């Protein structure tokens, strides 16, 4: 529990915030008005993928996109893969570019996929897949599934380049997937001439380069951490209180879900009842509940993992767990919902959160919903 500062201490901190916090961080390399910081998406994997897809698509990003795509392919040929010829990528005519986000593959989605034709001495069809991992890891053998997708169907005869993009070239364990990091993206952007671009595009490109430098290349990480530590030491009492007072989206979502489940006649199983597993496990918040239909099954219960928005039907407490079900269609959709809820609670706007939770509970309780299907396994 943080020590509570006096009202005067909070006033002094607020009045001196610019001098005490912002200016030292700016001197150390933090950009006060970076648009990616303002939107709090500097390390959000989905938003990085969205922006990279925008840059790769000339139909959306115009001349900047043509440059970025050309430089991207050329550097791939130069440093990453022998599948592409350097001079073909540098001088060939690029045509029929299609850029896709979240291409659905069985049990997964490819983050970014683009295909194109490039003609120099002859026309080549090329497809490039990018699996982007910012603060997460591969799972469920997903890279092998994506490779199988690319090796069949419409891309069977394309030249294929499969890229595993991480902050620091994390080992993908799949040799067919070539490792690149955000330093590679930064190098591509460095070769893009933005002098003739409009001011909005210029700002976006410059801000994105700064974010990559700070978040992934980490050239100035030491100086930033040093300055941040000094700020914290000088304002420890107030900052501890502020951090502890930060809205907790998981607690807020759990409260809303508990109320909605009780309205459906469910009984929330709390930690102190001890007959089931604890409600928290390694930072994961599990909202456990029982319904009347389980009266003859005292060790069975349903569990919502609030952190990832998934539903689990557990038989005999910790044994015989049924397959996990995502509350928003699939894991990717649930991840997007989690990101949205974090922002809604942080901005003190829970109306849409309540509406989404209500729709979700209605859906799992509908006649042919997840609850009904789980109960059918008891017969």
Predicted TM-score (pTM) of this structure: 0.53
Beta bridge partners of 93: 119
Task: Chunk the chain into consecutive blocks of 10 residues (it has 379) and report each block's average pLDDT, rounded to whole numbers.
Answer: 70 65 56 67 80 88 85 90 87 90 81 90 89 72 82 85 81 75 88 83 83 67 66 79 78 88 88 40 72 88 86 74 74 77 76 85 89 84
Q: Give φ, ψ of 190 to 5 degrees.
A: -60, -25
Give buried/exposed letters for 271-310 (b at 16+ CB in 10 A, else e). Answer: eeeeebbebeeeeebbbbbbbeebeeeeebbbbbbbbbbb
Which runs of consecutive H residues, i.e. helices, occur in the chain?
7-15, 17, 23-27, 35-38, 45-56, 58-75, 86-91, 142-150, 182-190, 199-212, 221-234, 236-244, 249-263, 331-346, 351-365, 370-376
Nearest to 74 by CA among 183, 197, 66, 157: 66
CA dist., res. 252 & res. 241, Å (int): 19
pLDDT value, residue 325: 78
Predicted local distance difference test score (pLDDT) of residue 260: 93
DSSP-assigned states of every residue in 89-117: HHHSEEEEEEEEEEEEETTEEEEEEEEEE
Q: How many Cα atoms occupy the beta-carbon half-sphere of 336 within 13 Å?
A: 11
- Cα angle 276-280-281, degrees, rounded to a multiple of 5: 95
pLDDT of residue 261: 93
Q: Phi and psi dihedrals of 320, rounded to 5?
A: 55, 50
pLDDT of residue 281: 44
Q: Would you kindly state where each structural domain of the chain is located, as residue ranges?
A: 45-217, 249-376
The per-residue pLDDT for range 223-257, each reduced to its tens digit, is 666 667 777 778 788 778 777 777 778 888 888 99
Q: Token pair for residue 240?
A: 């501890």
Predicted confidence at residue 273, as pLDDT, reads 38
Cα dihedral value 223, 225, 231, 233, nearest 10: -120
Element (H, E) at 160: strand 159-166
Strands 301-305 and 284-290: antiparallel
Residue from 125, 122, 69, 71 nearest 99 by CA: 69
What pLDDT, on a 0 to 100 scale, did the predictor assign at position 291?
A: 92
Residue 364 tokens read as 């799992």
Pairing between β-strand 310-314 and β-strand 280-281 as defined by DSSP bridges: unpaired
How confident is the model at residue 271, as a pLDDT? 45
Q: How many residues belong to the chain? A: 379
| 198 contact partners, CB below 8 Å, separation of at least 6 | none
pLDDT score recorded for residue 141: 73
Q: What is the predicted pLDDT for the residue at 272? A: 38
pLDDT in tens, 272-296: 333 334 344 445 678 889 999 988 8
| Residues paired with 268 in a beta bridge | 289
Say what the pLDDT of residue 277 is: 40
Asked whether 308 and 335 are in contact (CB, 8 A), the reply is yes
């Amino acid at each position: 529990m943080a020590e509570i500062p006096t009202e005067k201490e909070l006033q002094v901190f607020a009045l001196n915030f610019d001098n005490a916090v912002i200016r030292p961080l700016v001197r150390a390399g933090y950009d006060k008005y970076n648009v990616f910081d303002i939107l709090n998406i500097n390390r959000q994997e989905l938003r990085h993928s969205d922006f990279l897809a925008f840059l790769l698509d000339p139909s959306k990003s115009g001349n900047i996109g043509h440059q970025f795509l050309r430089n991207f392919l050329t550097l791939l040929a130069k440093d990453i893969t022998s599948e592409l010829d350097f001079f073909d990528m540098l001088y060939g005519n690029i045509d029929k570019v299609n850029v896709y986000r979240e291409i659905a593959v069985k049990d997964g989605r490819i983050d970014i996929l683009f295909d194109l034709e490039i003609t120099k001495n002859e026309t080549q069809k090329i497809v490039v897949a990018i699996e982007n991992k910012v603060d997460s890891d591969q799972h469920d053998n997903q890279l092998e599934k994506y490779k199988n997708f690319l090796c069949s169907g419409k891309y069977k005869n394309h030249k294929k380049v499969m890229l595993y993009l991480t902050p620091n070239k994390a080992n993908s364990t799949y040799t067919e997937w070539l490792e690149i990091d955000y330093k590679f993206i930064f190098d591509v952007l460095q070769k893009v001439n933005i002098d003739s671009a409009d001011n909005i595009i210029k700002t976006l490109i410059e801000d994105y380069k700064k974010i990559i430098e700070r978040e992934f290349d980490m050239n100035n990480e030491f100086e930033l951490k040093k300055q941040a530590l000094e700020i914290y030491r000088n304002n420890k009492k107030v900052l501890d209180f502020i951090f502890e007072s930060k809205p907790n989206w998981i607690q807020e979502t759990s409260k809303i879900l508990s109320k909605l489940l009780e309205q459906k006649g469910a009984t929330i199983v709390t930690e102190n009842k001890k007959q089931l597993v604890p409600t928290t496990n390694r930072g994961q918040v599990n909202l456990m509940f029982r319904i009347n239909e389980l009266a003859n099954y005292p060790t069975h219960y349903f569990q919502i993992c609030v952190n990832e928005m998934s539903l689990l039907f557990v038989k005999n407490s910790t044994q015989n767990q049924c397959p996990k079900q995502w509350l928003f269609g699939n894991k990717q959709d649930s991840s997007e919902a989690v990101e949205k809820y974090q922002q809604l609670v942080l901005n003190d706007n829970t109306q849409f959160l309540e509406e989404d939770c209500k729709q979700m509970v209605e859906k799992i309780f509908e006649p042919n919903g997840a609850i009904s299907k789980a109960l059918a396994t008891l017969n």
